[in-house]
Amino acid sequence: MENTSIAIKTNDLTKRFGKRNAVDAINIEINHGEIFSLLGKNGAGKTTTIKMLCCLLRPSSGSAEIMGYDIRKSPLEIKRIIGVSPQETAIAGHLNTKENLLLIGGVFGLKRGLSIERAKNLMELMELEDRKDQAQKLSGGMQIRLSIAIALMSEPQILFLDEPTLGLDPHARKSVWNYINKLKREKTILLTTHYMEEADSLADHIAIIDNAQIITSGTSAELKHKHESIQSLKISADDISSDILDGLKNKGMEVISTMNSIVINSVELDFYSIINYLQTKNIKIKGIQMQEPTLEEVFLHLTRKEVKNENH
């Protein structure tokens, strides 16, 4: 008997363009009512995966099921139960918020009264009810909220959000996160992103995709624990020049710099060698702290390793 708790399942799902694998034999399982994030760099294969799951691209090999429907055999059934908010916000710029939603209601054949009711509820959910001007005049964050509302007009069971906050400033990004969180447990959501904080904040489960392949998956806590061999050292200091950072990187370390500190990650962290190096460069160290790796540090370590393997 099939596991009825699984909403989306892939089996070696693959898409080739010529000789290049855009998606290479990926296997994921997404449970009902969870937010699952495909986390990866641009070009890693995230959007291609979504297009196959939405039945917009035919797989080269492998298979996938959406709510038990096979993406090859039942595309019409799948399209009736999914909603998609693509990277390019799918809105009609000359229409206002309500008109956009009513237009989609008509596309789905909703009765006028039901369409108006859903549009009203979604505008309240996304806090767009007071926006009467044309959609093209809305801010980027509001356009994305409208795009998500449009994807919800058909009351889909599955919601695909492809890079939903791409290009937004941090304030607008977190505002969109709030609205995505409101949908948690009501919808099964597949979210693609290259923002570590976005995946960490929103997702129940995360799969890191790099060079068309899933290289690890789990909850955020599981990923950090699974890769706890990555040692992380935070050093507080002023005036660390780019030359000094390059010197650390040349020693095989991953370095993340902020205004007043650096974080160094390595599988074999030579604490004394790092301190001696900084002291020879006349860096005045204000504080030193060993810490658990962040999701960003796990991601950088794993994807950097994949690049190294490719080059050998």
The pair of three-digit structure tokens given for residue 266, joined into one six-digit string: 């390595």
pTM of this prediction?
Answer: 0.78
User: Are the CB atoms for 198 and 177 separated by under 8 Å?
Assistant: yes
For the stretch 257-303, pLDDT in tens is 877 888 887 666 777 888 888 888 888 888 888 767 778 878 887 88
Give the Cα-Cα-Cα angle 130, 134, 138 (nearest 5 degrees): 70
Strand partners, 234: 263, 289
* Residue 308 clears pLDDT 50, i.e. is over it: no
Which amino acid is residue 139, in one-letter code? S
Q: Please tell me whether residue 192 adopts helix, strand or coil conformation.
A: strand
The pair of three-digit structure tokens given for residue 305, joined into one six-digit string: 């390793």
pLDDT at 93: 85
For the stretch 106-157, pLDDT in tens is 998 999 999 999 999 999 988 888 887 788 888 888 899 999 999 999 999 9
CA distance 37 to 44: 13
- Delineate the domains of the chain, giving CATH numbers in brackets: 6-218 (3.40.50.300), 226-311 (3.30.70.980)
With bands split at pLDDT 50, 70 and 90, how would you rate the model's confidence at 240?
confident
For the stretch 151-204, pLDDT in tens is 999 999 999 999 999 888 888 888 899 889 988 888 999 999 999 999 999 999
Q: Give the pairing of strands 261-266 and 254-257.
A: antiparallel
3-state secondary structure 206-253: EEEEECCEEEEEECHHHHHHHCCCCEEEEEEECCCCHHHHHHHHHCCC
Helices (H), 20-139: 46-53, 75-81, 97-107, 112-125
Quote the radius of gyration of the chain (alpha carbons, Å): 22
